[in-house]
């Protein structure tokens, strides 16, 4: 009722006396904020308007290799176009970034207990995410070290016995078994778990929820698939998957599993909104990086620089707490492992690739070498991205044919990788063991710099030392200065080419595959080669050149700056090298940016996820907001016939409908606000209908708690089919005011489209109302959603803009 | 003209056919974006509306000690209320965060050369800022080390000769001379240079430009005042001033000095807008931190976490580049100093307080000790902030009496500091030199752990080792584990109390004074005391306890997290301690947040700077945008009489005026856009008037280049008094369309005030138009500016909201 008083108030005087305004009038504004907050999303529903649009788009640009995979095959393909999944279109989450509903409630009814619950739970969840991610990260490490350690020990033992064929069989058998295990898990149980997962997390935090990307099954497959994938000797990392794992854990904890958890479930109602979910996922992603690299500060910065689209300082604070917990958990476990109870995972502290012992003085020639390193690293990185894009597009054709084809592809790549790892070392000459070798030469165990391979006693094969070991140990070997001249140039070169191309062809297959380790590995070999070339001029350790090479290659592919810098710092514990790492990252990023986008952005685009960039395209400045509005606008009256509502919900896929007050409820037609599909469904289900067109808002409001409109977990929302409405009810009326968000964000139709887009993106909107400039017309011109700002859509409407893109 | 076509277009159909829309129509939107970009600010002008409001505010809350200093004495006091300055009110910058005007130009006229110039200059300026700040930082270091080194050597020499009184005279003489020099510089030349400067930089980046805070004179005084202040033995740091220095340097470089620089000046026109200026200042602040702590990554994070209000990833990238340059410059200079050509500034690398050699293993008891450290550090920090607030309010009474009183206050505090430094060591017992002392005992030179002071040969005075040295060396002594038991508990305790209170009483005086060093110093003593208490249980080095104590105290006062963590890491080069530092920061911040705000926020509030917080207050949810609109609204017609415009400019202090199109220029009255005072002045000066009311926009537009409307430097804008308009001209007409921003941000009057505030803050607006909900009324209800969102204003209008604050 009170809301109506407000909207019917004759505000005819421009400078109306504000002091006399009664505050009680405004409770509704507050109430409606609550509603808006609880954006229920029905992930199964398809925005038909969107579908049509994508459909027409795809007819326009059939220039195959250039277009996003998803658009090309709108209805037949998966959301994970690259690996494929069950056919399901993309839908958008588009957050309304407003305060948590708890604090929105009337201060008269706000309960201290609830605030305590909320704050307690917020930090409790951060703690839990940290603990769980730390635990998983540790488990991951231990499992990989033990499984691949066992494999390598077996192979090494058979090699030392001289039975090369047996050794190959054992090696290949292990590899292919693990690879097939990872492939089967990934292809049959959770295709969304394939790949790095960072692009999907990034898209989620931008408001695009790819189906089942954070589901429990994905989490399960991500963890075990990653362990098997890395153990299978693929040139993949477990770091990207850890980020995804962290996000999945955060999502799972935030949802509380299922309804059967009683109290926990009840408390978790505070987190059933977009903003809190997004915050949790951000914490999870940061925790994932922290666990993967044992780099807590790097994790926070990664979340800030790469993952998150919206950031608040409160979030900095919470992610920082989460990663601190991860660091402490990891440190505790690692300390426990010093007792030798973790099997083959014995040594190693919090620093993964410690180079703090190496001398890091450098002179003018070193700076020159570093600049060269940066430039070439940038070019190599950009080329890497280019090739990955091409390979992913090719693989998607295979992956679409079905899960069995995906597993087959995994096995083929596994065989190829195995052959490279076991075959290429034969090309290397045997090197006599150095007299002053720090460690035993040739190595007996699974780690160590000096693998004997086919060599006679007293000799070692340097290429085998790189190939027949875990990726982590290979990086450690390359970073170390212990063996300055032990790697022959030819070996380094062979290893570089192999790793570079194996990394590219491995990424698109159906196993969880991180990009960090392949890139660091490739970069460190390349850096070592450059270091050897400049050896006579430079004073810097060759091991440090490796580190700089890794930095340059990382900068060239991922295009991050501060977070990479801090992660590398935390990985290697050598602060004195910081200025050089900064230069190299800056140069390689700048060079690579001349060619193409970062690898994650490229994958996002490739998958056709409607990622909303922070900036507006140049041509948008030549359009106004009214130009981007398209499709028929469906509006409701403040008190609407049930049949009209049901029909609108059935016939359109819109998630938001403007509500317009018309006489007799107002003097002139005016925009009352925006109502969400999900809230309409809740209201329809409750069946608070009346026989005549009258305001029944106050009664309705009493019967609902704000949490009735809380956003349910993925796939758990109400559907129109769940509601049965009789013929008689169809002719009744429903008062939409109680669930109408009376404060929608609006722009005038003459607002520059570029500015409208920036507004949309910065506030993190889901719907933006376009209102007319002149009077005497309908009070709303149209609604802009995320898809209306996509370049594809706008260029579709105005093809002549394309030339000025 | 084309703009008019657009606005007169009868858009009566809601779903107008967008594809048929002609793009040519929209060029004007683009053009008007240009205009809006070039927000000229007239810093001298006072927003009269604001003044009235503050005036009425101050009458309401006369509960003295609680209210901001500036509000209490609106017209009599300075912007730097604490130290005082020439009487000048605060005015707001309020950025319109839109793209740089260069890229806004019509793509047909956009010149590649201009883009190249812009990009080249953008990076060139970042490079220059880095170089200059690095240079100044290095100069600062060298000057301080040499001046205070000379002073300490002299004192030490006289002490060793046994002439204590002479030594005291020399010590006190030096101190008071330097202090007076700093005080005179600061009080007479640039009062804005007093204090840390971080709150002012923070306010600038939020859109509040305190007068002359970034002026060249401020820069000059900041550099030399800081050198003298630190050399005078005050308990102040040079770190906060370095941040301010960096910001000043950035401002100076961005403005290009003066018009006489020809080409440079011309190129710099691209940076004459709020956004680019803000970006430069952000880079400058980051460079300042990087130079002060030799912590490049910490600098970036400081800018991100503490300084900046708006952040884009492009900025991360540019600040990172700037701090990398600083790091390289500093490293180059420091390497040069190893040759011994820098006087007393001889040793030291990039790491200021290196503790990487100390053993950083820790057990369960250490964690307990660390938690205790964090809790007490938080309490101490909060109490520190509380006392600083009280002292600043007291000092402001003295400071207001005139520059000579300010200098007097400086001298009084200097005498007090000198007496403490020279008097308190007499309380300490002489300790026999340890047999295995690494360095010479007692120390002969100006540094070293073992000062002899009054002790017989073979003995040393531990308190003198802390007091009679530079702050940096005192911190180094406290952090080092070389002298585990050499500090007596009583000495530590005396030193802690002295530093804690000296730090508090020193901050408000008229010298550039950083807070970092006093806090780190106090914290490290306190940490060492706790370390000694827990000594029997813990395994951690006492020096590391010092570091953790410093972290806890920093967390308790400044309330930063990630940036402090990284700065401490880069200061001490001990990555293994990271988890402990994180815990301690989290705990101390959490504890201190229970009591009051961070010290910088407190100073901001104390100075009455209208800082716009990122969140909305709870009571704003009970109000709507229309409620906050106050004061008479002055609007113009699209073609307006010159007299009306001049009168409006004379009689109001508004910076923005809505332009309304009325018949015959449109069918119904409609909002055409917003025109800025500064643009009006440019147009008036050019005198493109017509005798009758007609559209002359196209002619006018041809005669201006976008850069004619570029925002001039502080104090350089056009003033109304500079323009003489004849009686005849007064009766002529002026077409406002060419300079009207046709895309103002609008909200409906029924929009929740909380949401409107978040919109205002997130987009970084300066003016927000409130439009009516119902038709048949004036097309604009009012304008909201920064001041309308200030809690003081809203609570002034709605005093009953206060209880629910």
Task: Dump pLDDT digits (tens) for A325-351.
Answer: 998 888 888 878 877 777 766 555 566
Q: Give the 3-state secondary structure percentages of chain A, helix then strand then coil, rounded to 5.
A: 60, 5, 35
Q: What is the mean pLDDT of residues A229-250?
A: 92
A497-511, B80-94, B292-306: least confidently modelled range:
B80-94
pLDDT at A249: 93
Most confident of A56-70, B52-66, B714-728: B714-728
Most A CBs within 10 Å: which of B775, B779, B780, B783, as the mutation test of the A interface? Answer: B775
Tell me the C-alpha distance between A363 and A368, whole Å: 9
pLDDT digits (tens, 9 = 90+) for A538-564: 778 888 899 999 999 999 999 988 889
Provide the pLDDT confidence category of residue B319 given band limits of 50, 70 and 90.
very high
Residue A524 in tokens = 């460190």
Give the best-scoring range by mean pLDDT among A477-486, A593-602, B30-39.
A593-602
Better-scored residue on pLDDT, B275 or A498: A498
State which of A401-410, B328-337, B788-797 shows the largest mean pLDDT.
A401-410
In the predicted structure, residue B704 carries a pLDDT above the cut 50: yes
* pLDDT score of A6: 30
Task: Look at residue B91 and give its three-state secondary structure.
Answer: strand
Q: Do residues A330 and A138 make contact, with C-beta atoms less than 8 angstroms apart? A: yes
Closest Cβ–Cβ partner in B561, B628, B747 for A320: B561
What pLDDT does A311 receive?
Answer: 82
Least confident of A249-263, A368-382, A480-494, A686-700: A249-263
Chain A hits for B803, CB-CB cut-off 8 Å, are: none
Is B27 close to A622, i.e. CB distance below 8 A? yes
Cβ atoms A271, A307 nearer than 8 A: no
Given a cut of 60, is residue A100 above it in pLDDT?
no
Would you say residue A451 has pLDDT above 90? no
Query: Looking at A96-181, which runs of residues are DSSP E strands?
Result: none
Average pLDDT over residues A358-384: 87
Half-sphere exposure of B108 (CA within 13 A, CB side): 6
Burial grade of A444 (CB within 10 A; 0-12, 13-18, 19 or more):
middle
| pLDDT over 70 (residue A707) | no
Q: Give CA–CA dist A30/B623, Å, rounded.
A: 9
Contact A297 B12 (CB under 8 A): no
CA distance, residue B762 to nearest chain A CA (Å)? 7
DSSP string, B533-578: HTTTT--S-HHHHHHHHHHHHHHHHH---HHHHHHHHHHH--GGGH
B22: pLDDT confidence band, cut at 50, 70 and 90? very low
Partner-chain contact B320 A565, CB within 8 Å: yes
CB atoms within 10 A of CB B432: 11
What pLDDT score was predicted for residue B705? 64
Contacts of A23 by beta carbon, 8 Å cutoff, 6+ apart: B622, B623, B798, B800, B801
Residues of chain B contacting A582 with CB distance shorter than 8 Å: 296, 320, 323-324, 327
Residue B606 has pLDDT above 80, yes or no: yes
Confidence (pLDDT) at A445 = 60
Residues of A in contact with B622 (CB under 8 A): 23, 26-27, 29-30, 107
pLDDT at A56: 34
| CATH topology identical between B2-44+616-804 and B364-606 | no
CB A216 within 8 A of CB A398: no
Between the alpha carbon of residue B430 and those of residues B454, B455, B475, B612, the distances in Å are: 8, 6, 21, 54
Q: What angle do CA A564, A568, A571 make, to 5 degrees?
A: 140
Domain residue ranges in chain B: 2-44+616-804, 112-337, 364-606
The yes-or-no verdict on residue B234 having pLDDT over 70 is yes
* Token pair listed for A466: 């790189």
Average pLDDT, chain A: 77
Residue A171: per-residue pLDDT: 93
Question: Averaged over B593-599, what is the pLDDT?
Answer: 92
Calpha distance A562→B297 (Å, rounded): 7
Q: In this predicted structure, what is the pLDDT of residue A115?
A: 72
Higher pLDDT, A104 or A709: A709
Residue A228 pLDDT greater than 50, yes or no: yes
pLDDT at A357 over 50: yes
Range of lowest pLDDT (A141-155, B86-100, B549-563): B86-100
User: In terms of Cα–Cα distance, which of A731, A704, A771, A789 is closest to A32?
Assistant: A704
CB contact under 8 A, B297 and A578: yes
Q: Which residue from B minimizes the CA distance to A18?
A: B627
Could you report the per-residue pLDDT of A660-684, keeping only the tens digit for each?
888 777 778 888 888 888 888 888 8
Give the single-character DSSP code of A639: E
At A547 the pLDDT is: 92
Reported as a single tens digit per residue, the pLDDT across B406-443 is 999 999 999 999 999 999 988 888 888 777 655 667 76
Q: How far is CA A331 from CA A241, A353, B46, B374, B804, in A?
A: 21, 15, 58, 20, 46
Q: What is the pLDDT of residue B714?
A: 54
Helix B364-399 × helix B578-593 angle, to 10°: 50
Between B445 and B452, the more confident residue is B452
pLDDT band at A410 (very low <50, low <70, confident <90, very high): very high
In this predicted model, what pLDDT tens digit does every residue of B641-663 receive, in sequence order? Answer: 888 999 998 888 888 899 988 87
More confident residue, A496 or B445: A496
Look at residue B64 in the predicted model and tell me its pLDDT.
Answer: 38
Of the candidates A696, A695, A673, A692, the one whose C-alpha atom is nearest the C-alpha of residue A746 is A673
pLDDT tier for residue A30 given thresholds of 50, 70 and 90: very low
Chain Cα centroid distance, residue B418: 30
- Residue B473 to residue B790: CA distance in whole angstroms: 44
Using CA coordinates, name the residue in chain A closest to B10: A774
pLDDT for B709: 66
The pLDDT of residue A778 is 83
Q: Which structure tokens are listed for A687?
A: 């069946």
Q: What is the CATH number of domain B364-606?
A: 1.10.3080.10
Chain B residues whose beta carbon lies within 8 Å of the beta carbon of residue A102:
none
What is the rounded average pLDDT of the residues A595-606? 91
Residues of A in contact with B767 (CB under 8 A): none
Asked if A774 lies within 8 A of B351 by C-beta distance, the reply is no
CATH code given to domain B2-44+616-804 = 3.10.580.10
Cα–Cα distance between A117 and A123 in angstroms, integer?
10
Q: Between these two residues, B711 and A474, which has the higher pLDDT value?
A: A474
Residue A360's pLDDT band, with cuts at 50, 70 and 90, is: low
Q: What is the mean pLDDT of residues B564-576?
A: 85
Q: What is the pLDDT of residue A715?
A: 54
- Asked if residue B70 has pLDDT above 70, the reply is no
What is the band of B323 on the pLDDT scale with cuts at 50, 70, 90? very high
CATH code, A112-337: 1.10.3080.10
Residue A686 CB coordination number (10 Å): 14
Cβ contact, residue pair B33, A754, below 8 Å: yes
Cα–Cα dist A406/A189, whole Å: 12
DSSP B684-735: HHHT--BSSS---HHHHHHH--GGGGPPPPTT-S--GGG----HHHHTSEEE
In terms of Cα–Cα distance, which of B604, B506, B507, B593 is closest to B555? B593
Distance CA B580, CA A26 (A): 48
Confidence bin at A242 (pLDDT 50/70/90): very high
Strand partners, B782: B770
Q: Which residue does chain A place closest to B572, by CA atoms?
A: A575
Query: Exposure pattern of B42-73 as b/e (b: 16+ CB <10 Å)?
Result: bbebebebbeebbeebbeebeeeeebbbbbbe
Which of A37, A293, A299, A324 is the best mutation test for B, with the most CBs of B within 10 A? A324
Q: How many CB atoms lie within 10 A of CB B539?
A: 13
User: Would you say residue A614 has pLDDT above 90?
Assistant: no
- Identify the pLDDT of residue A87: 23
**Contact flag A776-B668 (C-beta cutoff 8 Å):** yes
Q: Which of A755, A764, A802 to mutate to test the interface with B (most CBs of B within 10 A)?
A: A755
Reply yes or no on whether the pLDDT at A69 is more than 90. no
Task: Lowest mean pLDDT of A156-160, A636-640, A656-660, B32-36, name the range.
Answer: B32-36
Tens-place pLDDT, residues B170-196: 999 999 999 999 999 999 999 889 888
Residue B443's closest CA among B462, B426, B418? B462
Any bridge partners for residue A675, and if so which?
Answer: A657
> How many Å apart are CA A446 and CA A468, to the nearest integer?
9
User: What DSSP string runs through A46-73?
Assistant: --HHHHHHHHHHHHH---GGGS-HHHHT
Query: Chain B partners of A103 at a C-beta cutoff of 8 Å?
Result: 618
Mean local confidence (pLDDT), A305-323: 86
Identify the helix (H) or strand (E) that includes residue B135.
helix B112-160
- For residue A275, which residues of chain B lie inside 8 Å, CB to CB? none
- DSSP result, B584-612: HHHHHHHHHHTT---HHHHHHHHTT----
**Residue of B254, B275, B253 whose CA lies nearest to B100:** B275
Instruction: Work out the mean pLDDT of chain B and round it to a whole number.
Output: 77
Q: Out of A196-205, A343-352, A522-531, B97-106, which region has the weakest mean confidence (pLDDT)? A: B97-106
User: Residue holding tokens 């109306």?
Assistant: A16
Q: Which pLDDT score is estimated for B156?
A: 83
> Would you call A621 and B33 a contact, using CB atoms and an 8 Å cutoff?
yes
Query: In the CATH scheme, what architecture does the domain A2-42+617-804 have?
Result: Roll (3.10)
The whole-number pLDDT of residue B708 equals 65
How far lies A459's CA from each of A165, A429, A435, A445, in Å?
21, 10, 11, 16
| Helix A198-206 × helix A239-255 angle, to 10° | 40
Does residue B24 or residue B133 have the better pLDDT? B133
pLDDT at B664 over 80: no
């Amino acid at each position: 009722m009170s809301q109506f008083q407000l909207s019917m108030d004759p505000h005819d005087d421009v400078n109306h006396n504000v002091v006399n305004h009664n505050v009680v009038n405004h409770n509704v504004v507050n109430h409606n904020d609550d509603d808006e907050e609880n954006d229920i999303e029905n992930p199964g529903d398809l925005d038909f308007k969107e579908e049509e649009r994508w459909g027409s788009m795809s007819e326009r640009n059939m220039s195959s290799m250039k277009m996003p995979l998803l658009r090309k095959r709108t209805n037949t393909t998966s959301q994970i176009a690259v690996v494929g999944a069950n056919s399901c279109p993309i839908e958008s989450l588009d957050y309304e970034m407003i305060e948590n509903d708890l604090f929105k409630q009337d201060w008269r009814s706000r309960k201290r207990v609830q605030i305590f619950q909320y704050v307690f739970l917020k930090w409790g969840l951060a703690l839990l995410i940290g603990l769980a991610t730390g635990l998983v990260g540790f488990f991951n490490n231990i499992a990989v070290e033990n499984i691949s350690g066992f494999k390598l020990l077996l192979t090494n033992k058979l090699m030392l016995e001289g039975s090369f064929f047996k050794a190959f069989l054992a090696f290949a058998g292990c590899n292919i078994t693990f690879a097939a295990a990872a492939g089967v898990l990934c292809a049959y149980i959770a295709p969304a778990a394939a790949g790095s997962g960072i692009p999907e997390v990034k898209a989620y935090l931008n408001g695009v929820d790819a189906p089942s990307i954070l589901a429990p099954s994905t989490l399960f497959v991500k963890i075990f698939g990653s362990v098997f994938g890395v153990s299978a000797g693929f040139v993949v990392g477990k770091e990207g998957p850890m980020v995804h794992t962290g996000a999945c854990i955060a999502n799972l904890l935030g949802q509380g599993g299922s309804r059967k958890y009683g109290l926990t479930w009840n408390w978790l109602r505070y987190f059933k909104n977009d903003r809190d979910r997004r915050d949790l996922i951000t914490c999870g992603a940061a925790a994932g990086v922290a666990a993967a690299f044992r780099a807590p500060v790097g994790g926070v910065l990664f979340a800030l620089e790469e993952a998150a689209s919206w950031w608040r300082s409160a979030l900095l604070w919470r992610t920082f707490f989460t990663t601190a917990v991860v660091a402490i958990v990891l440190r505790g476990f690692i300390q426990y492992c010093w007792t030798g109870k973790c099997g083959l995972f014995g040594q190693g502290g919090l620093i993964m690739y410690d180079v703090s012992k190496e001398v890091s003085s450098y002179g003018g020639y070193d700076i020159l070498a570093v600049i060269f390193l940066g430039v070439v690293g940038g070019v190599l990185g950009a080329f890497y991205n280019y090739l990955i894009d091409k390979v992913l597009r090719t693989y998607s054709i295979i992956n679409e044919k079905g899960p069995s084809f995906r597993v087959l592809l995994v096995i083929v790549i596994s065989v190829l990788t195995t052959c490279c790892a076991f075959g290429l070392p034969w090309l290397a000459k045997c090197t006599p063991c150095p007299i002053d070798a720090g460690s035993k030469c040739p190595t007996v165990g699974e780690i160590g710099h000096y693998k004997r391979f086919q060599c006679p006693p007293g000799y070692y094969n340097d290429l085998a030392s790189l190939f027949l070991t875990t990726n982590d140990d290979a990086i450690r070997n390359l970073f170390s200065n212990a063996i300055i001249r032990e790697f022959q140039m030819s070996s380094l070169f062979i290893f570089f080419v192999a790793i570079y191309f194996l990394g590219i062809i491995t990424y698109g297959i159906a196993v969880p595959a991180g990009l960090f380790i392949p890139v660091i590995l490739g970069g460190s070999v390349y850096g070592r080669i450059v270091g050897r070339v400049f050896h006579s001029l430079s004073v810097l350790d060759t091991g440090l050149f490796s580190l700089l090479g890794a930095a340059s290659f990382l900068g060239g592919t991922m295009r991050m700056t501060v977070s990479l810098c801090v992660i590398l710092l935390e990985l290697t514990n050598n602060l004195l090298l910081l200025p050089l790492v900064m230069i190299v990252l800056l140069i390689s990023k700048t060079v690579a940016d001349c060619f193409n986008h970062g690898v994650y952005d490229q994958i996002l685009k490739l998958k056709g996820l409607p990622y909303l960039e922070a900036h507006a395209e140049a041509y948008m400045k030549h359009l106004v907001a009214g130009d981007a509005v398209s499709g028929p606008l469906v509006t409701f009256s403040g008190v609407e016939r049930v049949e009209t509502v049901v029909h609108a919900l059935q016939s359109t896929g819109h998630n938001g409908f403007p509500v317009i007050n018309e006489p007799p409820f107002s003097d002139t037609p005016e925009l009352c606000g925006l109502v969400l599909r999900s809230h309409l469904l809740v209201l329809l289900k409750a069946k608070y209908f009346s026989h005549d067109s009258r305001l029944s808002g106050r009664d309705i409001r009493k019967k609902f708690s704000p949490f009735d409109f809380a956003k349910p977990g993925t796939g758990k929302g109400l559907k129109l089919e769940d509601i049965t409405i009789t013929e008689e009810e169809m002719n009744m009326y429903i008062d939409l005011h109680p669930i109408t968000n009376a404060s929608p964000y609006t722009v005038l139709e003459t607002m520059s489209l570029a500015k409208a887009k920036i507004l949309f993106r910065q506030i993190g909107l889901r719907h933006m109302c376009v209102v007319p400039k002149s009077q005497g017309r309908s009070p709303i011109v149209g609604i802009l959603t995320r898809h209306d700002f996509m370049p594809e859509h706008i260029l579709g409407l105005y093809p002549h803009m394309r030339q000025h893109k």
